[in-house]
Structure 1
Amino acid sequence: MIVLFNKPYNVLTKFTDDQGRATLADYIDIPRVYAAGRLDMDSEGLLLLTDNGKLNHELTDPENKAYKTYVVQVDGIPTKAQLRELAQGVMLKDGMTLPAKVKRIPYPKWLWEREKPIRVRQNQPTSFIQLKIKEGRNRQVRRMTAAVGIPTLRLIRTHIGDYHIADLKPGQYRVVK
């Protein structure tokens, strides 16, 4: 079994927390499922969960090479050079990233309001890009956009391989066999 979950902003990607923060247990009432991968507390969107250890390994194994697709609201309007740099790979403190697939996109019509709005600077526009990567380093998308000069303001994962959030609203999940 695979559970597709649209993880809301400010929710931990685990089922327990001794500090009283929101967790997966606040949204998912299916016993013995575990997150296949993670999303940071301040990131939103698709999270896969499963009750099958072998499947969990397949979903999270870097050798799987499934693209993860993100809609990213960035501070500023990216230049062609910045997009090209993301596409070629970015040097981070932990080494060069693999090349990404990236493009500017219009404001997503399906995008929901976030519980806590992003910070907005009066004289600085924001824009959206779609970024597809095969890696899963810690805070990778945020570090990549910051490295090229367009910091991430909001990060929503929409796809993991062939799985996508489709019409799931934040906090909703769907079970697929």
Structure 2
Amino acid sequence: MLIALNKPFGVLCQFTDDRGRPTLAGYVRQTDVYAAGRLDHDSEGLLLLTNDGKLAHRLTDPRHKQPKTYLAQVDGEIDDAALVSLRRGVTLKDGPTLPALAEHATEPDWLWPRDPPVRFRKSIPTSWLSLTLREGRNRQVRRMTAAVGFPTLRLIRVRIGNYALDGLAPGQTRVLQP
């Protein structure tokens, strides 16, 4: 079984939490599945869940290099020099990243409002970029955009390999064909 979930902002990628925070259990009714990878609680978008260990391994093991595509809203108007740096790979505290596909993007017309909303500062504009990675370090997109001078304000994963968000609303699930 393979399930796509549009993980809402603020939800943990686990089924239980001893501190009472929102978890996957509030959105996924199947009890025999687990997340194939994760999204931080402050990130949104596509999360795949499965009960197939081999499939989970193919989706998450860095040796399989499944591309993961994100839309990131960043602080400031991201420039071409920052995109070039992301495309070449940037050096983080835990070493250099692999090169990424990085492009300017527009705010999607299908985007749902976030609760709480992204902070608004009249004097500092925001912009969007599309970033595709083939590795999955902890908070990697956020650390990469900060490294090039444009901290991430909102992060939405829209694709993992051949699987896409494709119109799922936050909290909604869809059974997929593996």
TM-score (norm 1): 0.98
Q: Give the Cα separation in 2 of the matches to 1:83 and 1:149.
A: 11
Q: Give the Cα separation in 1 of the matches to 2:94 and 2:41.
A: 22
Whether the 8 Å CA contact 2:13–2:24 is kept in 1: the answer is yes
155-164 or 59-68, which moves further after superposition?
59-68
Give 1:114's aligned residue: 114
Structure 1 position 61, deviation (Å): 0.8
TM-score (norm 2): 0.98
What are the ranges of 5 or more consecutive residues in structure 2 without an aligned counterpart? none
1:1-177 equivalence runs, <5 A: 1-177=1-177
Q: Give the Cα separation in 2 of the matches to 1:26 and 1:19.
A: 15
Q: Give the Cα separation in 2 of the matches to 1:108 and 1:18.
A: 36
What are the ranges of 5 or more consecutive residues in structure 1 without an aligned counterpart? none
Q: Give the Cα separation in 2 of the matches to 1:83 and 1:54.
A: 35
Structure 1 position 122, deviation (Å): 1.7
Structure 1 position 78, deviation (Å): 1.0
SS at match of 2:121: coil
Q: Say how many residue pairs are matched.
A: 177
Structure 1 position 47, deviation (Å): 0.2
Structure 1 position 136, deviation (Å): 0.4
Structure 1 position 161, deviation (Å): 0.4
Question: Per-residue displacement from partner, 1:22-74 (whole Å, max 9, x unpaired)?
Answer: 00000100121000000000000000000111111111110111110000000
Structure 1 position 104, deviation (Å): 0.5
Q: Give the Cα separation in 2 of the matches to 1:113 and 1:88.
A: 32
Give 2:114's aligned amino acid: R
Q: Give the Cα separation in 2 of the matches to 1:120 and 1:79.
A: 20
Give 1:139's aligned amino acid: R
Q: Give the Cα separation in 1 of the matches to 2:53 and 2:66.
A: 18
Give 2:164's aligned amino acid: H
Give 1:99's aligned amino acid: P
Q: Spell out structure 1 runs of 4+ moving beyond 6 A.
A: none
Give 1:54's aligned amino acid: K
Q: Give the Cα separation in 1 of the matches to 2:107 and 2:157.
A: 15
Question: Per-residue displacement from partner, 1:96-146 (whole Å, max 9, x unpaired)?
Answer: 000000110112101100010011222000010000000100000000000
Q: Give the Cα separation in 1 of the matches to 2:161 and 2:151.
A: 25
Q: Give the Cα separation in 2 of the matches to 1:125 and 1:22.
A: 31
Q: Give the Cα separation in 2 of the matches to 1:55 and 1:144.
A: 28
